[in-house]
Amino acid sequence: MNEKQHSIIERWERRWLGLASAMSLVFVILIAANLAFDSNNVVQLKQRANPAEILATDIFSNPGVIETSANKYRVAMVAQTFSFNPSEVRLPVDSEIEFYVTSKDVLHGFQIKSTNTNMEIIPGEVSYSSYTFKKPGEYWVICNEYCGIGHQNMLGKIVVLPKAVYAQEQANPVAEEASLGQSVFETNCASCHQASGAGLAGVFPPLKGNLAATSKLDGGKDYLVNTALFGLSGSIKVDGGSYNGVMPAWTQLSDEEISAVLNYAISGWGDDGVADITEADVAAARTNSYSSEDVHGLRQALGLE
Ligand code: CUA
């Protein structure tokens, strides 16, 4: 190698070294700027324990929003196949929001669209991040970790309201029973039937519309109460789709919870069903002690496929 070739190689080496140093500098500046100006939201691990232990803590046994101090709110959410519980939260704008999220079953993601909040949700861990929404609007929460057959339907929603509107909503809470029904549904039913009640084609039948229609049949109410209490197994048809699964019994839920969740599924998604199931109806049905096959027989007796 002669002198001239050597100096050409050296010149290029210096150029590449310079470029690499400049790139490193740009990356460091970007990270520093993000930490300084974009609400320093680094995901933190808040707790690590047995998943059942975490789910039993106060914050996750009744997940949702609470105001922890002036203009500061805590949102607790449980990710589960294939929904978030609660599936929708309403929050005021320009407030510090602390998100505590855990998983009930498998690995999920928690990414709030149009923000830099993006956490991995691991069973047995509580992930934490805080964020301040600067603009009112609807923000989708998406699961960005593949978690099974319904992964693509796993969505949550954050509704950010102007402060005055939020305060007004707080002063007029929705009817207590409706919110109990929704919370029982999202905790126990949404993982199969989905928070929207739309079900999963071929796997879990839809409830939206279908329960409203059933509630209007003669004997439909009894059948719905028995299904919720004792489960259902055998092949059925709903809205033209065939299903052959096993719905478990829910006798561990209270009469109040069963009646609230059924009334929610009958009318909570804007359907015009007859949502008049009472605790007494559930208490009376409880003495039936049916099997899930017996309930299939009740379904056939109603003329339902
Ligand atoms: Cu949960 Cu994907």
pLDDT tens digits, 19-65: 999 999 999 998 888 777 765 566 778 888 888 888 888 899 889 99
pTM as predicted: 0.58
Instruction: Please state which architecture CATH assigns to domain 44-171.
Output: Sandwich (2.60)
Q: Ligand 1 centre and the CA of 33: distance in Å? A: 31
Q: Which atom of ligand 1 is nearest to the CA of 106?
A: 1
Among protein residues, the one whose CA lies closest to atom 1 of ligand 1:
108
Question: Both tokens of residue 18?
Answer: 């310079």
Handedness of CA 44, 48, 52, 53 (dihedral sign): negative
pLDDT tens digits, 214-244: 888 888 888 999 999 999 988 898 888 888 8
Name every protein residue with a CB atom under 6 angstroms from any ligand 1 atom: 82, 108, 143, 145-147, 151, 154
Domain ranges of the chain: 3-37, 44-171, 176-301
Q: What is the pLDDT of residue 78?
A: 95
Domains 44-171 and 176-301 agree in fold: no
The matching CATH number, chosen from 1.10.760.10, 3.30.1240.10, 1.10.1200.10, 3.90.1580.10, for 176-301 is 1.10.760.10
Question: Both tokens of residue 126?
Answer: 């509580």
